[in-house]
Amino acid sequence: MKRITIQVGSYEVNCSLLCEGGDAWIVDPGAEGERIVRTLRAAALSPKAILLTHAHFDHIGAIPFLQREYPDLPVALHANDVPMLGHPFNANPPDYPQTGVPRNIVAIDPSAPAERSPLPPGVSAIETPGHTPGGLCYYIESLGTVLTGDTLFAGSAGRTDFPGGSMTQLMRSLAMLCELPGATVAVPGHGPETTIAAEKADNPYLAT
Ligand SMILES: [Zn+2]
Ligand SMILES: [Zn+2]
């Protein structure tokens, strides 16, 4: 598996393409659908699914564009974040494409058998509520990489003051991420990459 990460939109969301052979899974297509499609085409990739770390507007803005280009493309996310799609509090700012409720929503259930999972082989979803009720981190063991969405940032962690947020849950989720190998590269939803070891050493949210 290979990972291509680009920053999209004015909130500079890290949108990652997880690539296996000619297939790609698009994680958090926040905006700039055209550029995401260009990146896919340049690498001769055909997208299998959109995967969301969570459903906040800055992580989903390019879904309508992508589903126009690839009409059957499913949108996979945790069931607890599905109600956020199309909800007024999650409305996009005027400079963002309006998302509404996408077609082909597939719920990711981390406890479901692998053959029913929309995730690429070798990728597992870790339930990390707190920033949102249905927060997920995607762990790619072969790459030693975890996509942490807005749960863990370099030197910081996600806000919990949005509807459905919970500091208690966030702290528990961060503790789970700490159980990954220290050398694991963490790719947050925004900002620079880091490692689990570096965050355990320096991140005030992970101080024990
Ligand atoms: Zn968020
Ligand atoms: Zn975000």
Q: Residue 99's pLDDT is what?
A: 86
Percent of the residues in the chain that have a pLDDT greater than 90, as a whole number:
87
* CATH for 157: 3.60.15.10
Query: For position 208, what pLDDT does the model report?
Result: 64
Condensed to tens digits (0 to 9), the pLDDT of residues 144-199 reads 999 999 999 999 999 999 999 999 999 999 999 999 999 999 999 999 999 999 99
Domain count, the chain: 1
Q: What percentage of residues in the chain have a pLDDT greater than 70?
A: 100
Q: What is the pLDDT of residues 53-108, one digit of tens each?
A: 999 999 999 999 999 999 999 999 999 999 999 888 888 787 777 788 999 999 99
Question: Which of the ligands is closest to the CA of residue 58?
Answer: 2
Greatest distance between any 2 Cα atoms in the chain = 47
149 CA distance to ligand 2 middle (Å): 7
Ligand sitting nearest the alpha carbon of 136: 1
Q: How far is the CA of 151 from the centre of ligand 2 (A)?
A: 9
Between the CA of 71 and the centroid of ligand 2 the distance, in Å, is 25
Contact 73, 66 (CB under 8 A): yes
Nearest ligand to the CA atom of 170: 1
- Write the single-letter amino acid at 11: Y
Q: For residue 159, which ligand has an atom nearest its CA?
A: 1
Provide the domain limits for residue 58. Answer: 2-206
Which are the contacts of 57, defined by CB distance < 8 A and separation ≥ 6?
90, 91, 92, 93, 96, 99
Question: Among the residues of 84-190, which ranges form H helices?
Answer: 167-177
Instruction: Summarize the confidence of residues 23-28 as an average pLDDT.
Output: 98
Q: What's the pLDDT tens digit per position in 98-152? A: 788 999 999 999 888 777 789 999 999 999 999 999 999 999 999 999 999 999 9
d(CA 204, CA 142): 29
pTM of the predicted structure, to 2 decimals: 0.96
